[in-house]
Amino acid sequence: MITLCGIPLSNYYNKVKLALLEKGIPFTEDYVKTHSDDEAVLACTPLGKVPFIKTAQGALCESQVIMDFLEAAYPDTPRLVPADPYAAAKVRELITYVELHLELVARELYAEAFFGGKVSDGTKQRVARVLPANIAAFKRLAKFGPYVAGDQFTMADCAAWVSLPLVAQATKIVLGEDLLAAGGVDWKSYAKMIGERPHAQKVAADRKADQERVFGRS
């Protein structure tokens, strides 16, 4: 059986968790904090990043590597990428845009947005300059028809549902404007739709419980 290791506060952990649930793959969870210096953890994920998984064959780290492994190793479960190679590549293209060009840029604001820290004015200016162009580019690719890649739920939705709200919230809190909404991305309606899926509700409930455990009830 697969063991999913990491923390329910992590959007990348929840990306993999949602995929496991949607595909109906049995798994257990092991709470492992990010950037651990434990040798047993580093043997599985050399940078100490989460999530990672343990399988009968060994460990795998990096969320998209894990997603692609699940799709290949469990072909008889519901598919999260189309069978057509081009359509499958378009799904992975969207994931790259969500994670590399949106979430990774907005992540520079997270210390101030979510963890009580501060980021420099230079960082804020850079994010405010780069992110709108990246959002416009993402909008050219995203279908929202109603799912981000079209009319089927895919692994692109596992990525988008956990990351788009963070991009919007971080920019709203730190920059004073939800840059996703300002760029014409109706992420709230999309997030609500995905959030009505039973497996998404499970992920959200577990994340909320962990947030309350770590930060206390608001």
pLDDT for 26: 98
Distance CA 123, CA 193 (A): 33
Residue 203 belongs to a domain: yes
Domain C-terminal end among 47, 73, 99: 73
pLDDT digits (tens, 9 = 90+) for 19-55: 999 999 999 999 999 999 999 999 999 999 999 999 9
Q: Are 180 and 167 in contact (CB under 8 A)?
A: yes
pTM for the model: 0.96
State the chain's mean pLDDT as an integer. Answer: 97
Q: Name the domain count of the chain.
A: 2
Cα–Cα distance measured from residue 52 to residue 27, given in angstroms and rounded to the nearest whole number:
13
Q: Is residue 79 part of a domain?
A: no
What tens digit of pLDDT does each residue of 151-201 get?
A: 999 999 999 999 999 999 999 999 999 999 999 999 999 999 999 999 999
Instruction: Give dist(CA 124, CA 155) in Å, integer.
Output: 30
pLDDT at 194: 98
Q: Are residues 110 and 182 in the same domain?
A: yes
**What is the predicted pLDDT for the residue at 18?**
98
pLDDT tens digit string along 130-140? 999 999 999 99
**120/176 same-domain check:** yes
Q: 3-state DSSP call for residue 12?
A: helix
Name the token pair of 138. Answer: 């993402």
Distance CA(88)–CA(110), nearest Å, equals 31
pLDDT of residue 217: 56
Do the Cβ atoms of 19 and 56 come closer than 8 Å?
no
> Are 120 and 31 contained in the same domain?
no
Examine the domain organization and report whether 89 and 65 are in the same domain.
no
If pLDDT is split at 50, 70 and 90, which confidence band does 218 have? very low
Collect all residues with Cβ–Cβ distance below 8 Å to 37 and sequence separation of at least 6: 48
